[in-house]
Every structure is written in structure tokens, then in C-alpha cells.
Amino acid sequence: MLHLSPAAYGRLAGPAGIAPDARLVVTDATSAALARLLTDAGVAHPEPTHPDAPSPADVSVVVPVRDRPAELARLLDALRATAPGLGEVVVVDDGSADPAATERAAFGARVVRHATSRGPAAARNTGAAAASGALVAFLDSDVVPEPGWLAPLLGHLADPAVALAAPRIVAWRAPGCSSDAALLASDARIATSSLARHAVARYEERRSSLDLGARPAPVTARSRVAYVPSAALLVRREALGDGFAEDMPVAEDVDLVWRLAGAGWRLRYEPASRVAHEHRDAVGPWLARKAFYGTGAAPLALRHPRRVPPVALAPWTAATVTLLGLQRRWSTVAAGAVTAFAAVRLAKGLHDARRPKPGVSPQRGCGDPGVRRQESRIARTPWLPAVRLAAVLAPWGLGGAAWQAAGALTRHWWPAAVVGALVSRRVRRALLIAATAEGLADWWRFREPGATDVVGHVVAHRLDDLAYGAGLWWGAWRHRTLAPLRPDLSGKGPDR
């Protein structure tokens, strides 16, 4: 939430106030400062077009590959169709068993080879070092860019403060297949599968770890879009530095994103750009991949403290959720009292938020130079709007805390929760309620209109959480750390 000075408000508002689709055109230093404030806060987003955007000729595409000649050929065909005029394409063969097949599939691209496999991070770094473009697009061999994917990303890179832009990763379907045909019987892989395989395919189309949704966002830790996957990225070469961490077999993309953000660069997620990915749908490999992702939490937690907690709660929401978890009458009453007290404190904070600090103009930084300081007109928010807003935000905060707690109980902490359920009826009840309610809410949130596959989705969602949690605990054991399992109850961001 932001309080805007009158000058800043005037730049955005119309006769009826600030409309949801209000636009701000940057024309001077003041509007540029306001635009930066709004986009950094995530309450406004840059339009993904810009007349001064870099050219496709400035882009070097780097493709790491190992033993995937058919997928590589498919990707290069898609690049030629969707992004003509690219500066170059560099294919890094990371120790393929049949390098000749990779060479044939990479016809028209420059090929760099590792004699033995060194991992995707090293392959990307090798490709970036061999490339010559001012911008580097990293594309995995199992993705297929859709028409128009590059222009929105280039539009974001017109801003010199932006180091990285990432597209939305969506599910790939075989050409000529409808959604149902692709999911049920589009080829031999799915035709021989069971109902479980179909459920996994449907679930991945909705809830893939690579798909970060349909809303644009800044990319920063512990936000709605906390990372972007390296399956498809456009990065400014000067910002890459040492590139991907080659000692991280997983989560190396998250590490790079957070290092760039820590260096002061802006990062953008742009769903108007779409790149399709061939998701796994065989149950065994799918679960193994989810567990593999989980192992990355421990090294991330060690390298980036307070950025990957299983839950991040304010003290009052943590206390309320704990009291509700006790499942006693007195604790339920106490949880209500804590929530009411928090709402009162929040209303007071909202009421007092606009009082200017002594000696500081409330318009400094966003006001027009010719506008007189008007401290007397920016005193306090009236009590009634403050109370109304607090009455919305406090229950909303509690609901978000309960959502986090249910997710952590069934995903990050499930091994400990299962042990507790063996000896405690209340833990069993809490675990059952969390697993059912959170699963149903997840299906409701991500379902398509008319969808009826609630059971398949909930089961797949629970299996996803079990696999990820198992990988997380294994990674924590290997690194001898509890960092990825500890909650953050400070109520503050990771840099405070």
C-alpha cells in the first residue's frame, strides 16, 4: 500500500479517481521517479513495448543440450519461425553420447562442445562466453518459443535498469492436437499411460513449477514472483558477471536471479511473452524431478539467508495460527482476540501513516517543483476509512497465514507432521484438514471453467508436495542445515 502525494496522485487520477487501467506516460524526471516507485512496488507494470527497444540482432541465443537432437531441431525450427534476425545461435553440447547427432540437429547454429558433461549451469556459461551479443537469451532444448515471444522481452530491456526479462512458460502440445487429445492420446507416450498419467499431465498444465501465472510482476525474493526459471531468460550481458553457479546442480537460476536483484538490477516477468515447455507426465520421472527441485532449497537458504523460509508471517498471524492449531475452545477465543487487537493496531497505523515527519515535505521525491508544500492538507487519514480498511486487511492477513501454514504442513514439514500424527489425534486432524482444504482450494483457484477433475488434481497436488518435501529434507540433511525448514516470524522483508 502506498500513500501518494497530491502531485503524484494528480499524475494518475481522473475525475473518478485512479482507475484500475490507469496509465502513466513517462515524460520527465518526476514521472520517471513515480513510474519507478510504482513498478518496484509491483502495483504498476511497464507496457512490454518500447520504441527504443533493442533489436533482435543484439541477441545471442544460447542453448545447452545433452542427447536431445530431436528436441534441439524442433527448437531451432521454432526460432527461425518466431524470431528472424537474431544475432546468432550458440548450441553447447554438454557431453552428448552421440555428438554427430547434435551437430546435425544444430544445422545453421554454432556448436561448442564439452567433452564430458559439466551440467546445465556450466553449459550456459560456456555459451555466454562464446556469444557476442549485448543480450543473451538462454533457452533449454525442450522449449518451443511461441510467435511474438521476443518483442515483449526486448521492450523491458529498453530500460537500462533492467537486467533480465523472462517469459511465461506454458505447456507444449503436439501440433494439430486439441487439448484433450494431447492430454489423453496424442502419442505413444500418453496412449500407453494410465489415468494417473493423464492426471499428472492436466496438473502440470495448470501448476507446473515453471509457469508463474498470467500476471506481470517484478521478480524479487519472497514476492508473488520470487524467481524465474532458466528454461527461458533474456539477460543483459553486462549484468551476468560470473554467470550461473556451476557448483549448483539445481536452483542455479534462482541463485542468479537473487544475485542480480541484490546488485541493484531490476528484473521483470512478462507473461505476454510465451515459451512452451514439454512437461513430464510419466509419474516416476515427474516425482523424481519434483524431489530434485526440493534439494535446491538448502544451498539457496545458505547462500541467501531469509529468502526461502517455508512460511513468512508477522508475529500476530503466527500466534493466531498457532492458537487455532491447538484446537481448544479457549485457544479459538484467544485467536479471535489477537486478530481483533491486530486490526485495532492496523487501523491506528493507517490513521497515522500520512502524518509528515518534522522538517520533511510529504511531496519530496514525487512532487512537481512548482507545487507549494501543503503539510496541513496531508495530516491524517480519517478514522472511518482506516477502520474499514483494517477490517478487510486483518482477516485477509490471517487467511494468508493459514494458507501458508497449511502449505508448509503438507509440503515443507510433512515428514515431521507425519511423525506427530502417529502420536497425536490433534496433529492427525490438523494434517487431514490441511491436506484436504488446501488441495481443494488449489484446484478451485487453478481450474478451468467446467473442470470436474477435482480428485485427480488434489491427489497430484499432494504427490507434488510429498516429493518436493522429501527432496527438501534430503538436501537439508546433506548440507547439515535447518535453514530451509525454519519459519521467518519477524514480519519483515528479507533485507530488513
| DSSP track, 242-303 | T-S-TT-SSSHHHHHHHHHHHTT-EEEEEEEEEEEE----SHHHHHHHHHHHHHTHHHHHHH
Secondary structure element (H or E) that encloses residue 181, with its range: helix 179-185
pLDDT value at 3 more than 90: no
Name the grid cell of 202: 492436466
Report the relative pairing of strands 135-139 and 217-218 from DSSP bridges.
Answer: unpaired
pTM of the model: 0.89
pLDDT band at residue 192 under the 50/70/90 scheme: very low
Average pLDDT over residues 272-288: 94
pLDDT at 173 (0 to 100) = 81
pLDDT at 496 (0 to 100) = 60
CATH 3.90.550.10 for domain 56-281, yes or no, is yes
Is-contact 243 125, C-beta < 8 A?
yes
pLDDT band at residue 170 under the 50/70/90 scheme: very high
Distance from C-alpha of 38 to C-alpha of 23, rounded to nearest angstrom:
11
- Residues above pLDDT 90, as percent of the chain: 79
CB neighbourhood size of 95 (10 A):
15
Task: Kindly state the DSSP code that residue 483 receives in the 8-state scheme.
Answer: G
Average pLDDT over residues 98-107: 95
pLDDT at 368 (0 to 100) = 44
Name the grid cell of 439: 488441495
pLDDT value at 184 more than 70: no
Q: How many residues does the chain have?
A: 496
Distance from C-alpha of 341 to C-alpha of 319, rounded to nearest angstrom:
12
One-letter amino acid of 209: S
pLDDT at 177 (0 to 100) = 54
Name the grid cell of 118: 559439466
Name the grid cell of 422: 502417529
pLDDT at 189 (0 to 100) = 45
- Residue 439, CA distances (Å) to 181, 445, 458, 459, 463 in order: 26, 10, 5, 8, 11
One-letter amino acid of 118: R
One-letter amino acid of 85: G
pLDDT at 350 (0 to 100) = 87
Average pLDDT over residues 293-306: 96
Report the relative pairing of strands 232-236 and 143-145 from DSSP bridges.
Answer: unpaired
Q: Which residues on neighbouring strands pair with residue 434, listed in sequence order?
A: none
Domain ranges of the chain: 6-41, 56-281, 315-356+376-485
> Mean pLDDT, the chain, as a whole number?
90
CB neighbourhood size of 132 (10 A):
11
Axis-axis angle for helices 195-207, 425-446 (nearest 10) = 70
pLDDT at 425 (0 to 100) = 95
